[in-house]
Structure 1
Amino acid sequence: MSQSPPVEGTTTTTTTMPPDTPGPHSKRLGLVAVIATFGGLLFGYDTGVINGALTPMQEGLGLTPFRTGVVAAILLLGAAVGAAIGGRLSDYQGRRKNIILLAVIFFVGTMGCVLAPNYGVLAFFRFVLGLAVGGASVTVPVYLAEISPAERRGGLVTRNELMIVSGQFAAFAINAIIFNIWGEQPSVWRYMLLVAALPAIALFVGMLRMPESPRWLVSKGRDQDALGVLRQVRSPERAEAELAEVHALAEEERASQTGGWADLAVPWIRRLLFIGIGLAIVQQLTGINSVMYYGTELLQEAGFSDNAAIILNILNGVFSISGLLVGLALMNRVNRRPMLLFGFIGTTTAHLLIGVSSLVLPEGLLRAYMILFFVIAFVFIMQGTIGPLVWLMLAEIFPLEMRGFAIGLSVFLLWITNFFVGLFFPSLVAGIGISYTFFLFAAVGVVSILFVKTMVPETRGRSLEQLEEDFRTHGDPVEATT
């Protein structure tokens, strides 16, 4: 999910301190990253497991298309709430304690869904799961960023996004295995959901042995505790030298919390917030999560059998991971804005081709496989461009004094948009069919291309201070790109 905002002043400081040399502390840091990113794995699994579980769930609980949308999408509404309060809660009680609490909520939500006797109970506990997903989306990346050395921060924080898409892929694969073994049983969807209890337990047990964020400890005046943590994950020389940097980071964190609604009186800040919210919304209006949540049902509508659809849906997970890996490799070599434009042009084209294939081709295997091909192409392009780029650009475009406020508002609206797309997608497909549903996505894609072309600035290769100065001076983000 979200990458933490880049921290200003880091590069200058780290050049004067001992390098991050390998040693036993490196293994400890690696273990911390693995355990913490189980939160991302749960995020991915719990959002992806519904893809494949819905068909037997519909039969077992008698769900209408609208209720199907509610079961899938109410998790996203919970995530919006969880994201809104998760950051503040982790500021109050600490990143580590917050992740432990989230592990408990993940487990309770999972078991509640597994044991749900009816639609109402299932929807309630899907909302509870959403609280944990949203909390993890804002807490885990911050924890990783704050415990990592500056030289490795980007790579370690990015692991969380990789774990999210890996969790979705795992959900698709496990669903296919379970369905092909126990598919005749009415309660097969409960087995699919139950698997999520295992990483929740692993996250809870693992985080009990993990250290707290040194940055959070310093912000609470616990310098000796912070030094103790740094000695676990740095060389002795580096730990001593870095404590001063952690002090500086804590000061910047406090500064980043000072922004709020009053800042919107400034025109260029309003424009920046409009860009951030716009990026968050158009990312979700690509319909990516409709495919990640309803991919199996979509392939069934295309013409595949139930067994074939749930197996072929694994390809969405494979190409999701592949696209993300390609995108991460290109991100520091290609300018953000052209890459974002390419992504929206590619996804809009894929939407059109899915719609045309569904409308023009006669029912049969050719139609089914053409739709599958274009859906996979859409997922690959989306996850390789728009998906990670929007999170990165949200972290780059806002000035320090309003970064926390602006990102929080943008992410909240991202989740809300995700919720509405997930809620109405099954009803749209049932009402107007695959073709016109994806033509609708394509129309939104054209608007998104125009938005990026006319409003979104280039951020690659420019410091946060340079960006802020350009926005202050020019006012117009398009001028600031030149």
Structure 2
Amino acid sequence: MVKEKKVSSRFIYFFGAFGGILFGYDIGVMTGALPFLQQDWGLESAVVIGWITSSIMLGAIFGGAMAGQLSDRLGRRKMILISAVVFVIGSLLSGIAPPDGHYYLIAVRIFLGMAVGAASALVPAYMSEMAPAHLRGRLSGINQTMIVSGMLLSYIVDYFLSGLSTTIAWRSMLAMAAVPAVILFIGVLKLPESPRFLIKNNKLAEARTVLSYIRPKDKIETEIKQIQEMAERERLASQQTSLGTMFSGKYRYLLFAGVGIAAFQQFQGANAIFYYIPLIVEEATGSAASSALMWPIIQGIILVLGSLLFLVIADKFKRRTLLTLGGTVMGLSFIFPAILNAVIPNTNPMMIVVFLSIYVAFYSFTWAPLTWVIVGEIFPLMIRGRASGLASSFNWLGSFLVGLMFPIMTASMPQEAVFAIFGVICLLGVLFVQVRVPETRGYTLEEIEKIGERKQAKRNSA
């Protein structure tokens, strides 16, 4: 039963969103820890470095899929608590890795990644079910702000711990991720369950109590009725939908558009910067990566400012316009260093870092948040659950492959050439947006579905 003691809406929204900070923290912490880990264990294998860095994303692929299923059975709140416990255990186990324990650390980070994937799925779901309708449009942007704030926090912690001895430094960085996880656990203990989950499980009295915390009294019964109607529609949709339904002619166009956007967001190479910026600076300047930990903080500040900018402009520009602008500048920011290096061989090596900062700035208010806005808008109700899960899986797969392959690629070709490849992918992403992605701003879900049907009909008749 829900406790009678009222929980303030601010408390609910703060700790509901806090999972995004934890998610971002665990994504970013390896950026500062990796240079010290390399020194301590004498890591030279690009494959091992790639696996240690990207293994958390491999776990996230499975964690996100399982969290969605389990949260429908156990509840959003309980699954967030379980994820926080996994965060704590995984972080502490990472910090006590045995000397030269490559495979141990990879296995632990896969385990930790399951919590990362769960958080990425559960936090937006919980927040969207708790927030009033007029705030839901901002949730993707707010969640992105929380994630990048978590990344920035991890970069700052890494910077201040970098003065410790090599062994203690990286172990402390990884283990410190347990602290925000404990804070999340304590806060979520006091959170109520999602009213949507309660209503779907026929706990109407508890749902009314929860809604009384966060809604005006005269709105409660209306919202309960709306939730019941939507739950029934989704139940009927799930019964009538199979995997084959997603790929049918009626839905294929929108499916490919949403999944394609999610995949391009990662294959454009953003995480190569976020994971490896100290090593990128080391490659460019020859200075030790462990002394370049101010650069992740700079990138983190840019990410946070960009996410805040998105909150201001999100509904003032068309989705396709922002994606085209961002993807074009991102692609050119990756390609220009290779051109400059070919034309002027003695160009200042830090020029590539300047261009990477321009890339991060435009990524932060375009592709980073807009991907999930579009994924939330573009799928018709009949395929929304399965299609959103597929888009998330492709996004995590892209993140995993970029994290794994970047050190391998830079070991076999110049750094500028690697980023030029990512630049071409960015421009291909722009082309994909122009050809395959319909505009979704200002359209209802039903109107978007009709756009997809018309587009697919044209392709079938061509």
Q: Tell whether the structures are fold-level matches, with TM greater than 0.5.
A: yes
State the alpha-carbon separation in 2 of the partners of residues 33 and 268 from structure 1: 38
The 3 A distance-change label for structure 1 pair 276 and 58 is: same
The 3 A distance-change label for structure 1 pair 313 and 471 is: closer
2:262 corresponds to:
280
1:17 corresponds to:
none
State the alpha-carbon separation in 2 of the partners of residues 328 and 34 from structure 1: 17
1:5 corresponds to:
none
2:366 corresponds to:
385
Greater Cα offset, 42-51 or 29-38: 29-38
Answering whether residue 187 of structure 2 is matched by residue 198 of structure 1, we say: no
AA matched with 1:290: A
Describe the SS at the equivalent of 1:187: helix
Determine which of 145, 153, 159 is the counterpart of 2:142.
Answer: 159
2:245 corresponds to:
263
Answering whether residue 182 of structure 2 is matched by residue 222 of structure 1, we say: no
Answering whether residue 318 of structure 2 is matched by residue 335 of structure 1, we say: yes
2:28 corresponds to:
48
State the alpha-carbon separation in 2 of the partners of residues 452 and 156 from structure 1: 23
Determine which of 87, 99, 120 is the counterpart of 1:106.
Answer: 87
AA matched with 1:160: N
Task: State the 1:350 CA deviation.
Answer: 0.4
Asked whether the equivalents of residues 24 and 148 of structure 2 are also in contact (C-alpha less than 8 Å), the reply is: yes
AA matched with 1:33: Y
State the alpha-carbon separation in 2 of the partners of residues 265 and 185 from structure 1: 52
Task: State the 1:438 CA deviation.
Answer: 0.9
2:151 corresponds to:
168
- When normalised by structure 2's length, the TM-score is 0.93
Describe the SS at the equivalent of 2:374: helix
Determine which of 31, 37, 40 is the counterpart of 1:57.
Answer: 37
Asked whether the equivalents of residues 215 and 249 of structure 1 are also in contact (C-alpha less than 8 Å), the reply is: no
The 3 A distance-change label for structure 1 pair 400 and 196 is: same
Determine which of 220, 223, 226 is the counterpart of 1:245.
Answer: 226
Task: State the 1:358 CA deviation.
Answer: 5.1
Pairing 1:62-141 to 2, within 5 Å after superposition: 62-63=42-43, 64-117=45-98, 118-141=101-124
AA matched with 2:260: G
Determine which of 11, 22, 29 is the counterpart of 1:31.
Answer: 11
What's the RMSD between the two structures over aligned residues? 2.1
Task: State the 1:251 CA deviation.
Answer: 2.5
Greater Cα offset, 301-310 or 355-364: 355-364
Asked whether the equivalents of residues 52 and 296 of structure 1 are also in contact (C-alpha less than 8 Å), the reply is: yes
Determine which of 112, 117, 132 is the counterpart of 1:149.
Answer: 132
Identity %: 35
AA matched with 2:177: A
Task: Give unmatched runs, 5+ long, in structure 2.
Answer: none
1:11 corresponds to:
none
Answering whether residue 283 of structure 2 is matched by residue 301 of structure 1, we say: yes
AA matched with 1:323: G
Task: State the 1:361 CA deviation.
Answer: 5.4
AA matched with 1:302: A
Pairing 1:390-429 to 2, within 5 Å after superposition: 390-429=371-410
1:211 corresponds to:
192
Task: State the 1:398 CA deviation.
Answer: 1.2
Determine which of 212, 224, 234 is the counterpart of 2:215.
Answer: 234
Asked whether the equivalents of residues 455 and 478 of structure 1 are also in contact (C-alpha less than 8 Å), the reply is: no
Greater Cα offset, 392-401 or 246-255: 246-255
State the alpha-carbon separation in 1 of the partners of residues 421 and 218 from structure 2: 58
1:10 corresponds to:
none
Give the count of matched residue pairs: 451
Task: State the 1:42 CA deviation.
Answer: 1.2
- When normalised by structure 1's length, the TM-score is 0.89
Greater Cα offset, 38-47 or 305-314: 305-314
The 3 A distance-change label for structure 1 pair 101 and 112 is: same
AA matched with 2:185: F
State the alpha-carbon separation in 2 of the partners of residues 208 and 477 from structure 1: 52
The 3 A distance-change label for structure 1 pair 83 and 446 is: same
Moved over 6 A (4+): none
AA matched with 2:226: E
State the alpha-carbon separation in 1 of the partners of residues 25 and 243 from structure 2: 35
State the alpha-carbon separation in 2 of the partners of residues 477 and 114 from structure 1: 56
State the alpha-carbon separation in 2 of the partners of residues 410 and 156 from structure 1: 18
